[in-house]
Amino acid sequence: MSASDKVHRWLDLLASLLSRHYPVAIADLRRDVPGYADDSVQEESLLRTFERDKGELRELGVVIDTILDEHGVGRYQLRKQDFYLPLLLVCEALLPAETEVREQPRRGRAPGTTGLPTLVLTPDECHALRRAAARIVALGHPELATDATRAMRKLQFDLEDFVAELPAATVLRVDGDVFDVLTESVALRKRLTFQYHSMERNETSTRTVEPYGLVFLTGHWYLVAFDPTANGMRQFRVSRIRQAVMASRPQHPDFAVPATFDLSTYAASRRAWELGSGEQERIIVAFRGDSGLVAQGSQLGDDAPEWPGQMPGALPSADTLWRAFSVRRRDPFLRWLLSFAGEARPVAPPTVVAAWRELLAATRAAQLDAPRIAPPHTATEVA
């Protein structure tokens, strides 16, 4: 039996249980679920398969209740309130949720959603959620940023334009005229010249590139283009592009997009240090420990030499894992390594190790200079 057969059987089982408001016998499930409908299979074998399915679904968080009828025969039920999340509504005023529920007209429900609880959010609660998600994304931690983005996307199913109002997406707005020129240049494969402000170097310069595509990442639009001057692919944040001009003669393409180019690989990137137009540098990081954070962080890098002896400050250890990272923006990457609390540190190249030590020294100094909060008085001291 393939994994897809099991998934199909699970989906049929869930559909059968969720379509009923009462417990059903195994005979009913056998009629509804094609995976259980083989007449050549004995009922005892069918029950073992069903119990195995029920146990595996329970591990995934889907709890199928067993209910005994008056004759002691087991029947099965999946309650909607145990399976579905509550429906979400937004209040029209900053009033307690209970008041809004009574005053709001009842909205129509989609088929199959009757009986589900409703969670009513006030506008200030929605703003707090969006603000919290934006703060999490701004931290630069890949796993947390992905979780926050997915959570906002799920909320959008019930609350229209919820993600569109995320503050992080509106910090820097895109010039509509510039975006139109970029879009046309991508479609017609025309070279593009524009003024671009680099935050890392804090300077504005003229760029001429071959635009391959546009992607939307972490609340911002990026132009993915080949830069002939740098002889490499670059990502330019569209909100920092000004005075975009497309090459003349639009009926003739200026370049051909390589067959090996895949825009989805750029759209899938979520790491702050991979974005931007700077030169890539290869940074080797030593991870130590077995915490979940170390396991997740090390998976983001590539294989690196197990013992790079030429690296200054690198000490051999049996529990050290070496990983290589391609980094365009060094500062966000080093700040990300700080979150590992000593369980991750760069060991090459030497310039990055030196920058890492400067960052550590600055962080320690900031902590020492921070005002200390006096402990509260004890009852004895007050007396």
Q: Say yes or no: 164 and 95 in one domain.
A: yes
Report if residue 377 sits inside a domain.
Answer: no
Report if residue 137 sits inside a domain.
Answer: yes
Q: Average pLDDT of the chain?
A: 76
CA gap 20, 78 in Å, rounded: 9
- Give 4-10 contacts, CB < 8 A, sequence gap 24+: 5/35, 6/53, 8/34, 8/35, 9/33, 9/34, 9/35, 9/36, 9/53, 10/53, 10/56, 10/57
Answer yes or no: is pLDDT of 37 > 70.
Answer: yes
What pLDDT is stored for residue 225 in this prediction?
93
Q: What confidence category does residue 370 fall into, taking pLDDT thresholds of 50, 70 and 90?
A: low
Q: Say yes or no: 267 and 184 in one domain.
A: yes
Q: Say yes or no: 24 and 36 in one domain.
A: yes
The more confident residue out of 222 and 131 is 222
**CA end-to-end span of the chain:** 76
The more confident residue out of 169 and 353 is 353
Give the least confident one: 66-80, 242-256, 366-380.
366-380
Last residue of a domain, one of 168, 185, 213: 168
227-245 tens-digit pLDDT: 998 888 888 888 889 999 9
Q: Say yes or no: 24 and 37 in one domain.
A: yes
The more confident residue out of 178 and 87 is 178
CATH code at position 42: 1.10.10.10
Report if residue 154 sits inside a domain.
Answer: yes
Q: Say yes or no: 145 and 216 in one domain.
A: no
Q: Say yes or no: 94 and 149 in one domain.
A: yes
As given in the structure block, the two tokens for residue 362 are 């600055």
**Rounded (10°) CA dihedral 116, 117, 122, 124:** -90
Q: Say yes or no: 9 and 78 in one domain.
A: yes
CATH code at position 188: 2.30.30
Q: Say yes or no: 13 and 59 in one domain.
A: yes
What pLDDT is stored for residue 101 in this prediction?
39
The parent domain of residue 122 ranges over: 87-99+115-168
Rounded (5°) CA angle 328-320-359: 45
Report if residue 108 sits inside a domain.
Answer: no
The more confident residue out of 177 and 110 is 177
Report if residue 338 sits inside a domain.
Answer: yes
255-274 tens-digit pLDDT: 999 999 888 777 665 566 77
The more confident residue out of 59 and 122 is 59
Report if residue 105 sits inside a domain.
Answer: no
Q: Say yes or no: 343 and 316 in one domain.
A: yes
Q: Say yes or no: 72 and 13 in one domain.
A: yes
Report if residue 382 sits inside a domain.
Answer: no
- Mark 210-222 as b/e (b = at least 16 C-beta within 10 Å): bbbbbbebbbbbb
Q: Say yes or no: 184 and 133 in one domain.
A: no
Number of domains within the chain: 4
166-198 tens-digit pLDDT: 443 333 467 778 888 999 999 999 999 999 987
Report if residue 378 sits inside a domain.
Answer: no
pTM exceeding the 0.85 threshold for the entire prediction: no
Q: Say yes or no: 291 and 270 in one domain.
A: no
Helices (H), ranges, the chain: 3-18, 26-32, 43-59, 80-83, 97-103, 123-138, 142-158, 176-188, 263-267, 292-298, 330-338, 350-369, 379-382
What pLDDT is stored for residue 226 in this prediction?
94
296-315 tens-digit pLDDT: 778 778 887 655 554 555 55
